[in-house]
Amino acid sequence: MIQIEGYTIETRGKQSGQIKTKCPKCRELGKKHLNTDLSVNLDSGVFKCHKCGWEGRFKENINDVIRNIEKTYDKPKTENLTELSDEHLAYFKTRGISSGTLRRCKVKSGKGDWFIFQYLEDGEVVNLKGRGSKEKKFYQAANAKPIMYKLDDIKDQKEIIICEGEFDALSFEEIGKLNATSVNQGAPNANDKNVDKKLECITNCFDIFEEATTIILAVDMDENGQRLSRELVKRFGAEKCKTVDFKDCKDANEVLVKHGKQALRECLNEAKDVPVEGVCFANDYLDQVLDLYRNGQTKGTTTYFENIDKHWTWRTSEVNIWTGYNNEGKSMMLKQLMLIKSKFEGWKHAIFCPEETPMKEFITDLIESYTGLSADKDKENYMNEMQLLDGLKFVHEHFIIIDPEEHTLSEILKKASYLIRKFRCKTLMLDPYNQIEHRMKAGEREDLYISRFMAKLKKFANDQDISLNLVAHQVTPDVTVDRETKEKKDYAEPNLYKIKGGGTFADKADNIISIWRPHRNTNIHDTSVKFIAQKIKKQKLTGLPGETELSFNRSTNRYYMGSLSPFDIDEDKQSELDNNGFEQVQPYDFSAGFDEEIAPF
């Protein structure tokens, strides 16, 4: 519970995150208080009631926010742990785990029927995970550091076995494989959109896996385990991964109990390489084809702008080009779409943006868009320092800047690959094309170089399963003047074949988006904007070519559809505004394009 201004806010036992609860002030005002209209951010201390308007902050110490930017963890208490009881030793024996393995791995007994797996880093306990021996129940130490189980055993190992649970890691130790580890929270659910939190143990130990040459994925054979396997292949790369088939069993421990140690050795020895891009057969895609057939093709996900969704949606494995005239908002539009995706779905982004220097101004720009307030003390909506730091924390968690010593494409993609695998960044932004150090071959024509450049981007987007976004300027527009009045005329609409560098960009990109201020040349104060989807490659999945109108508010640093900004969506609707929150792209009817009588089939 929180006491503020003489009122009590019920937090339902939660200590962090965003919650919805009943507003005590609504009750005092005589309004209906059965609904949970009070939004409370337990980390920043900000609260607001969407019924009566009561708002404020219960955390006044600015250092709380500063400390929150960099994650800190608590050390778990171990004084109540004891050596394993006879009851627990007997239970582990039924699971094929010996007392010698349990002693070496420092498995302990807790209170009641709980036994405790200790997570050690450099010999020090940094996390505890409890499990009940009488029923399948779990807990972990509060605010402890998520790391891999048996972390010290896998350091400096060239081959590492990753399991889904502690029992499986201990099962491999029973056959002499001390280099087996486990994620600390099991596998993500098959349909989870964001698995970053569940796999934070991988992120915190990523460099250990980076140094290994072979990673054997010995996860469960069920749907969730296979989701975990796919996520780990994305992070570590197919070329260094192998997968274990447990055949008629779900996991390693079941093989050990059901068939014995030799059977588990055979499963491990028969681990298969993950197919590497570049060499494949149709049957290699059987699982993926069946998944598309059973669950539907991967459609683009919402931008949270209803009018934009009709023409373009977020879809991974695609290369988008954002074009337009100088200083007309193409980069700003892309950054806001990324901010919104981060706010509602937790997406992380890798950004190469040398034109945005100094970085303090680029970060401030993101904070202003996120908060809808100004960091300029001369403005009426000047944010306070706590609001600035709240925004900084959000940007810190979701945007990572790439700035290698050499701005070559190979160096940029090398850094991006690391960030995508470690932090699961969902997008890469290259802003702009002309700030990349291009390495053309001697005598190479520019159009052939651009074709080669775009092919690299497409392969990278597909291999990494990200949305890759390239910002490219239009050629300088003609400054047209009306012959009779001698007054300036508006610039022509941006054209996908007038991107600086030539039409090869249009030919090789998946999608091309233009951001255009149609009246900027004749009225600099006119902030109306057009979002134009000039090319959409996979229209039944991503959107239909076309345009829609937006406006830009300099005070809030945000784009609007009419009077609505997606930043202002009420928290109650966030879960509803999922992939189906706004009107989505309708499948295109291709049937009209075929004549059944002459169809070749």
CATH number of the domain that residue 538 is part of: 3.40.50.300
254's CB contacts (< 8 A; 6+ apart) are 246
Which distant-in-sequence residues (6+ apart) come within 8 Å of 433 by Cβ? 470, 471, 472, 473, 500, 501
For the residues of 498-519, what is the DSSP string, one character each? GBTT-THHHHH-SEEEEEE-TT
The pLDDT value recorded for residue 254 is: 97
Q: Are residues 135 and 14 in the same domain?
A: no
- At how many degrees (to 10) do helices 252-259 and 261-269 cross? 140
pLDDT at 95: 96
51 assigned to some structural domain: yes
Number of domains within the chain: 3
On whether residue 43 sits in a domain, the answer given is yes
Q: Are residues 106 and 44 in the same domain?
A: no
In a domain, 375, yes or no: yes
Same domain membership, residue 50 and residue 159: no
- Same domain for 514 and 581, yes or no, is yes
Cα torsion 480, 485, 490, 496: sign: negative
Q: What DSSP string describes 197-210? A: TTTHHHHHTHHHHH
Structural domain includes residue 490: no
Token pair, residue 398, equals 């979701």
Q: What is the DSSP secondary structure assignment for residue 189, as one 8-state letter?
A: P
Is residue 92 located within the same domain as residue 192?
A: yes
Position 522 scores a pLDDT of: 87
Dist. CA 400–CA 433, nearest whole Å:
19
On whether both 322 and 269 belong to a single domain, the answer is no
200 Cα distance to chain centroid? 12
Residue 587's pLDDT is 35
The C-alpha torsion from 591 through 595 and 598 to 601, rounded to 10°, is: 10
Domain that holds residue 124: 86-273
Looking up residue 158, the CATH number of its domain turns out to be 3.40.1360.10
Distance CA 375, CA 361 (A): 10
> Are residue 26 and residue 145 in the same domain, yes or no?
no
Residues of the chain with pLDDT under 70: 1, 13, 15, 31-34, 59-70, 276-280, 284, 479, 570-601
* Residue 301 belongs to a domain: no
pLDDT at position 400 = 96
Shared domain check, 446 and 383? yes
Q: Examine the domain organization and report whether 172 and 232 are in the same domain.
A: yes
> Is 539 part of a structural domain of the chain?
yes
Residue 594 lies in a domain: no
